[in-house]
Amino acid sequence: MMPTFRSDGWLPEGHHQATWIEIQELFGGPPGSVRSILMERLLEWTDELKESGLGGFLVLDGSFISSKREPGDIDCILVLNHESEAIVKSNDKARELTDYLKCKERGLGDIFGFLESTVRKHPTFCRLDGYDFDRSGIPKGVIEVQI
């Protein structure tokens, strides 16, 4: 069950596991809204990731997962699973889908690729907490969802 927004518009502190249905319900916005356009972009991108055989999870952050009516874009960390590493290395489409600048071009925002295997090998350097504070230093929540 997803938590509700705090009065400052952010989710409560923590990495909240969510399903795509919950994400659509909470952040998808009404039809035709900025939110719905961003949601569509996010779903199109993740569908293409899956079609290319890529898997893992996303750590979603930024105004998209706040209560802001018109968020600017979608920021996230894309943590690719072990099987995806070989696919990214060998498949042009998979490389394009995980390319920071290409993701920007399709209006997604800052998408940072990372590897699950790196999390296991170098846990102390694997900081998925870069977005855990708002600009005034108050801890806030982010969303984790399986691709």
Partner 1 sequence: MISNATELNVVLHQLSSFADMLEALRLDAESSGEWALFSHLSKGYFIKIHDLNDEIRAYLQEQDLVSGDAKAMGTTALRP
As beta bridge partners, residue 77 has 59, 112
Q: What is the chain's Cα-based Rg?
A: 15
Question: Are 108 and 41 contacting, i.e. CB atoms less than 8 angstroms apart?
Answer: yes
What are the structure tokens assigned to 4, written together? 């509700």
| Choice from 54, 88, 97, 145 touching partner 1 (CB under 8 A) | 88
Q: Strand runs (DSSP E) across the chain, as ranges? A: 14-17, 56-61, 75-80, 111-115, 141-146
Of the pair 110, 144, the CB lying nearest partner 1 is at: 110
Establish if 17 lies at the interface with partner 1 (CB under 8 A).
Answer: no
Q: In what order do the strands lie in the sheet with 14-17?
A: 14-17, 141-146, 56-61, 75-80, 111-115
Establish if 15 lies at the interface with partner 1 (CB under 8 A).
Answer: no
Return the range that interacts with partner 1 (CB under 8 A); candidates 3-11, 28-36, 51-59, 96-104: 96-104
| Choice from 98, 108, 116, 142 touching partner 1 (CB under 8 A) | 98
DSSP state of 129: -
| Choice from 1, 4, 30, 101 touching partner 1 (CB under 8 A) | 101
Establish if 48 lies at the interface with partner 1 (CB under 8 A).
Answer: no
| Choice from 99, 106, 107, 144 touching partner 1 (CB under 8 A) | 99
Q: Which residues of this protein are in contact with partner 1, per CB under 8 A?
A: 85, 88-89, 95, 98-101, 110-115, 117-119, 121-122, 124-127, 129-131, 133-137
